Structure 1
Amino acid sequence: MNLDCFKAYDIRGRVPTQLNERVAYTIARAVAEELGPQMAIVGRDVRLTSPALAAAVIDGLSAGGCNVADIGLCGTEEVYFATAYYRAGAGIMVTASHNPMDYNGLKIVREGARPVSADSGLEAIRWRAEQGGFTPRVRGRTGRLYHREAYIRHLLSLVDPEVMPPLNLLVNPGNGGAGPVLDELDAHLPIQLIRENAEPDGNFPNGIPNPMLEENRRFTSDAVLSFGGDLGLAWDGDFDRCFFFDSHGEFVEGYYMVGLLAEASLRAQPGGGQGTRVVHDPRLTWNTIEMVEAAGGVPVQSKAGHAFMKETMRRENAVYGGEMSAHHFFRDFYYCDSGMLPWLRVVELMGRREQSLREMVRERMERFPCSGEINFRVDNMMDAIHRVMVATDARSGHIDRTDGISVEFPEWRYNLRGSNTEPLLRLNVETRGDRRLLRRQVEHISAIIEAGV
Structure 2
Amino acid sequence: MDLSCFKAYDLRGRVPDQLNPILAEKIGRAYVEITGAKKVIVGYDIRLSSPDIAEALSSGLMAAGADVFDIGLCGTEQVYFATSHYKMDGGIMVTASHNPKDHNGMKMVGPESRPISSDNGLNEIRDRVLEPFADAAEQGRYEPLEVMSAYVDHLLGYIDAGSLSPLTIVCNAGNGGAGLVIDELEQHLPFEFVKVHHQPDGHFPNGVPNPILPENRAATADAVIAEGAAMGIAWDGDYDRCFFFDENGRFIEGYYIVGLLADQFLHKTGGGKVIHDPRLTWNTLDLVKAAGGEAIESKTGHAFIKQRMRDEDAVYGGEMSAHHYFRDFAYCDSGMIPWLLVAERLCQSGQTLSSLIDARIEAYPASGEINRTIADPPKVIAAIEAKYSVGANSVSHVDGVSIEFDDWRFNLRMSNTEPVVRLNVESRANIPLMEEKTEELLAEMDRLNKEG
TM-score, normalised to structure 1, is 0.93
Q: CA RMSD in A?
A: 1.9
| Higher mean displacement: 398-407 or 60-69 | 398-407
- Judged with a 3 Å threshold, the aligned counterparts in structure 2 of structure 1 residues 443 and 104 are, in CA distance, closer, same or farther, namely farther
Contact 1:117–1:308 (Cα < 8 Å) also in 2 = no
Find the counterpart in structure 2 of residue 168 from structure 1: 168
**Could you tell me how far apart the structure 2 residues matched to 1:92 and 1:423 are?**
30
Aligned pairs for 1:323-342 (under 5 A) are 323-342=319-338
**Could you tell me how far apart the structure 1 residues matched to 2:182 and 2:330 are?**
21
Task: Indicate the SS of the match to 2:295.
Answer: strand
Contact 1:80–1:113 (Cα < 8 Å) also in 2 = yes
1:415 to 405, 411, 416: 411
| Higher mean displacement: 177-186 or 46-55 | 46-55
The yes-or-no answer on 1:436 pairing with 2:432 is yes
Kindly provide the CA deviation profile for residues 194-250 of structure 1, in whole angstroms up to 9, marking residues without a partner as x. 011011111111111111122222221121111111111111111011111111111
Find the counterpart in structure 1 of residue 389 from structure 2: 394
1:321 to 317, 323, 329: 317
**Could you tell me how far apart the structure 1 residues matched to 2:371 and 2:100 are?**
15
Find the counterpart in structure 1 of residue 135 from structure 2: 136
Q: Following TM superposition, by how much is the alpha carbon of 1:134 offset from its aligned partner in structure 2, in angstroms?
A: 3.8
Contact 2:376–2:419 (Cα < 8 Å) also in 1 = no
Aligned pairs for 1:52-131 (under 5 A) are 52-130=52-130
Contact 2:87–2:111 (Cα < 8 Å) also in 1 = yes
| Higher mean displacement: 220-229 or 191-200 | 220-229
| Higher mean displacement: 111-120 or 305-314 | 111-120
Amino acid at match of 1:110: G
Aligned pairs for 1:298-309 (under 5 A) are 298-309=294-305
**Could you tell me how far apart the structure 2 residues matched to 1:412 and 1:16 are?**
48
Q: Following TM superposition, by how much is the alpha carbon of 1:168 offset from its aligned partner in structure 2, in angstroms?
A: 0.3
**Could you tell me how far apart the structure 2 residues matched to 1:28 and 1:428 are?**
40
**Could you tell me how far apart the structure 2 residues matched to 1:227 and 1:170 are?**
8
Kindly provide the CA deviation profile for residues 112-149 of structure 1, in whole angstroms up to 9, marking residues without a partner as x. 1111223333233333334x234531321123221111
Find the counterpart in structure 1 of residue 152 from structure 2: 152
User: Percent identity at matched positions?
Assistant: 52
- Judged with a 3 Å threshold, the aligned counterparts in structure 2 of structure 1 residues 113 and 281 are, in CA distance, closer, same or farther, namely same
Q: Following TM superposition, by how much is the alpha carbon of 1:36 offset from its aligned partner in structure 2, in angstroms?
A: 1.2
Amino acid at match of 1:70: D
**Could you tell me how far apart the structure 1 residues matched to 2:113 and 2:315 are?**
16
Find the counterpart in structure 2 of residue 37 from structure 1: 37
Task: Indicate the SS of the match to 2:56.
Answer: helix
**Could you tell me how far apart the structure 2 residues matched to 1:420 and 1:99 are?**
16
Q: Following TM superposition, by how much is the alpha carbon of 1:450 offset from its aligned partner in structure 2, in angstroms?
A: 4.7
- Judged with a 3 Å threshold, the aligned counterparts in structure 2 of structure 1 residues 56 and 254 are, in CA distance, closer, same or farther, namely same
Q: Following TM superposition, by how much is the alpha carbon of 1:264 offset from its aligned partner in structure 2, in angstroms?
A: 1.4
Find the counterpart in structure 2 of residue 51 from structure 1: 51
Find the counterpart in structure 2 of residue 262 from structure 1: 262
| Higher mean displacement: 24-33 or 277-286 | 24-33
The yes-or-no answer on 1:12 pairing with 2:36 is no
Contact 2:370–2:422 (Cα < 8 Å) also in 1 = yes
Find the counterpart in structure 1 of residue 216 from structure 2: 216
Contact 2:76–2:239 (Cα < 8 Å) also in 1 = yes
**Could you tell me how far apart the structure 1 residues matched to 2:25 and 2:373 are?**
32
TM-score, normalised to structure 2, is 0.93
The yes-or-no answer on 1:312 pairing with 2:315 is no
Structure 2 residues without counterparts, runs of 5 or longer: none
Amino acid at match of 1:198: H
The yes-or-no answer on 1:288 pairing with 2:248 is no
Contact 2:364–2:426 (Cα < 8 Å) also in 1 = yes
Q: Following TM superposition, by how much is the alpha carbon of 1:423 offset from its aligned partner in structure 2, in angstroms?
A: 5.8
Task: Indicate the SS of the match to 1:251.
Answer: coil
The yes-or-no answer on 1:355 pairing with 2:385 is no
